[in-house]
Amino acid sequence: MNPFVLALQAKNLSVKIHHHSAYQIVLSNDTPFTSTIDGTFYEGIHGFLIKPHIAHFCVAEKGTLNILNIEPYSNMGLELASRFKENENHIVFDLPFDTNAFFKTPKDNMDINVLVNTLVSNLPPNNYDERIAKIVEYISENYFKSDITPQTFANLVFLSPSRLASLFKKQTGSSLSKYLLWTRMRKAIYITLSEKERSLTDIAYDTGFYDLPQWNKYMYQMFGMPPKALKFNSDLIQVL
Range in 37-41, 55-59, 121-125 the model is least confident about: 121-125
- DSSP 3-state helix, strand, coil percentages of the chain (rounded to 5)? 40, 20, 35
Q: Is residue 218 part of a domain?
A: yes
Q: Is the pLDDT of residue 235 over 80?
A: no
Domain final position from 79, 94, 121 = 121
Task: Tell me how far CA of residue 175 lies from CA of 74, 162, 178, 239, in angstroms.
Answer: 8, 11, 5, 24
Residue 99: domain span: 5-121
Q: Is the pLDDT of residue 240 over 80?
A: no
What is the tens place of the pLDDT at every residue in 183-210?
A: 998 899 889 888 888 999 999 999 999 9
Whether 22 and 111 share a structural domain: yes
Q: Is residue 23 part of a domain?
A: yes
In whole angstroms, give the CA distance from residue 93 to residue 46: 6
**CATH number of the domain that residue 169 is part of:** 1.10.10.60
Whether 160 and 217 share a structural domain: yes
Q: Is the pLDDT of residue 156 over 90?
A: yes
In whole angstroms, give the CA distance from residue 59 to residue 206: 33
88 Cα distance to chain centroid = 21
Write b or e for each residue in 152-182: b if 16 or more Cβ atoms lie within 10 A of its Cβ, otherwise e. bbbeebebeeeebbebbeebbbbbbebbbbb
Q: What's residue 163's pLDDT?
A: 95
Contacts of 25 (CB under 8 A, 6+ apart): 47, 48, 49, 50, 66, 67, 68, 70, 115
By CB neighbour count within 10 A (0-12 exposed, 13-18 middle, 19+ buried), where does 232 fall? exposed
In whole angstroms, give the CA distance from residue 120 to residue 90: 21
Whether 165 and 116 share a structural domain: no
Domain final position from 65, 90, 121 = 121
Q: What are phi and psi of 24, to 5 degrees?
A: -135, 135
Q: Is residue 10 part of a domain?
A: yes
Range in 115-119, 132-136, 171-175 the model is least confident about: 171-175
What is the tens place of the pLDDT at every residue in 131-146?
A: 998 998 999 899 999 8
**Strand, coil or helix: 210:** coil
* Average pLDDT over every residue of 157-174: 90
What is the tens place of the pLDDT at every residue in 28-54?
A: 878 899 999 999 999 999 999 999 888
